[in-house]
Structure formats: structure tokens, C-alpha cells
Amino acid sequence: MKRTWIYCPLALLAWSVLVGPRLFAQEPPATASPQLTRAQMEEFLLNAKVVKRETLPIGVTASERATLTDGRLTHDAHIQTVEIYKTRFESDRGMELNFRDSYKFNIAAYRLDKLLGLNMVPVSVERKIGGTTASVTWWVDDFLMMDLDRHQEKIKPPKPALWVDQMHQVRIFTQLVYNTDPNLGNLLITKDWTLWMIDFTRAFRLHKKLQNVKSLFRIDRRFYNGLRELKEDVLMQELDPYLRKAEIKAVLARRDEILRCFDEKIAQKSEAAVICSRPGH
């Protein structure tokens, strides 16, 4: 499903870079999950038995949907094993040097989201599936639609102001991780109109400048504080297995650019005009 603009929903989907838009609207997870902490979801994804796997019919990296069970809970997950590196990569967007398309970036995005207290990226862990190391991502519960569907069907959010504030955070995170493949099919909406971002296999580029600083308008207070408090040693410890040192340095450089942008906006306008507070944050 790759590519159109970035968007995604609830607590736990991780249908990645390569599934056709309507695929997300298929049957729900095998069993609706109880309210679990992220630590419990991680534990489940790391250790539950895989009882079913099916390759997604759309995409270029043999992405899979799997059903896992630990004997008490049964839940679906998205499996990606893509790991591609090219010194030069040509696409319809032009030529990219040092191109990477990696399952590891899904895990890095989740861990970064967790560090920042954003809670807009579903749980994702690294695990061997059938002898191959992969990202295994929680299948989002209470899925309603992709933002692509919302746009095509011209559906308006029930609470426009809250929706807009969520979208602002999506755009900031997209800039922070330098996702080169954001699209409306990768932004999922749940039944309570919560947004979840998925598919980061083409993120975490080495660029230290933002892709589009003009896309930054308002930032959630917890997100803002999380960016300000982010320490290099903590980031290195949390992301080292999944990002190279240069990629982590680039995240920090873009973090500085984002903070500089919002600090200037606060000085020009006011804190109330720039910093918002999402429910639960």
C-alpha cells in the first residue's frame, strides 16, 4: 500500500508499508484484547505462539499477518522482515543515497514514541519468526478506518479541534523521524477517533534538517516536554539495536530544529496558541 500521505489509528496496529488500503478493513483481530499495558503487549508479542501466518496479497516485501496466542489471549500482529540497503536508490521521487528500508525502524519508532510519551505508535518488538528476524507489531484494536478512507468518503471527525491537534502531532513525529514514505493509508483511526501511525521502514534518514518546517503548528505539551528532556545517552541506549549512531545523531539534530521552531512560535504568539493538551496527556 505504500505511499500517498501519512496517517493511522489505535492502540496497536502495525500493518506496515506494504498492504493495500482496504486490507486494513478486513476481519478484526482473532480475539478482542483486554486493556493491556504496553509492557504486557511487548511480552505477548515476544513470547506468544504463532498459530497462523498469511502473506499479504499487496506489497513488495512479503509482509505478513499472523495470529498469536499464549493460551489465554489470542491476537493478531503484523510481521515485517524487510532489510534492504542500497548506496543509490531510484524511485518516482528521485534518487536517494544510502537508502534503507528496514523492519528495525518500526521498533525504533515505537521506542521513540514511548520515550516521548506520545502514544501514537503501536507496540512493536524484534523477534525471530520462522527463523527470520522481524518486527512484530500489535494489530490495532477497535480499528475503524484509514485516514485514506476518511478522505475518500469525506467523513468529518466528530470533534474537529481534537482531530486537528492529533494531526499536528502526526506531522511533528513525521518530521522528527524523517519518514520519506508517509501516506494516508498508514494513518489509522479507531472507533473513538484516536490516530495511530504505522509503517516506518523508510524513516530515520541521515538528514539533520527538517523535510517541511512549515507543517509544524501546534504541539502537545507532553510531547514538547518529552522532546526537551530527551537525552542522547538514553536515546543511544534505547535505539542502539535498531538505529546506527549517525541515524540517532540525526534524530537529535531534528529534535533541536523542532524545538527551535516551536520556541520561536511561542515567542511570537503565546504558549497557549502553540502548546495544546490532548485528553489523557
Rounded Cα distance, 245 and 54, in Å: 35
Q: Which of 16-25, 98-107, 233-242 has the lowest mean pLDDT?
A: 16-25
Return the exposure string of 56-87: e unless at least 16 CB atoms fall within 10 Å of the residue's CB, then b: beebebebbbbbbbeeebbbbbbbbbbeeeee
- Whether 277 shows a pLDDT value over 50: the answer reads yes
Q: How many CB atoms lie within 10 A of CB 133?
A: 13
Percent of the chain with pLDDT over 90: 78
Q: Would you list the domain boundaries of the chain?
A: 21-276
Number of H helices, E strands in the chain: 8, 12
Helix residue ranges, H only, the chain: 38-47, 104-116, 147-153, 160-177, 221-229, 232-239, 245-268, 271-274
- Whether 186 shows a pLDDT value over 70: the answer reads yes
Cell numbers representing residue 35 in the block: 486493556
Predicted pLDDT at 5: 36
25 — pLDDT class (breaks 50, 70, 90): very low
Specify burial of residue 243 (Cβ count, 10 A radius: 0-12, 13-18, 19+): buried
165-176: average pLDDT: 98
pTM for the full model? 0.88
7-26: average pLDDT: 36
- Whether 93 shows a pLDDT value over 80: the answer reads no
- Whether 28 shows a pLDDT value over 60: the answer reads no
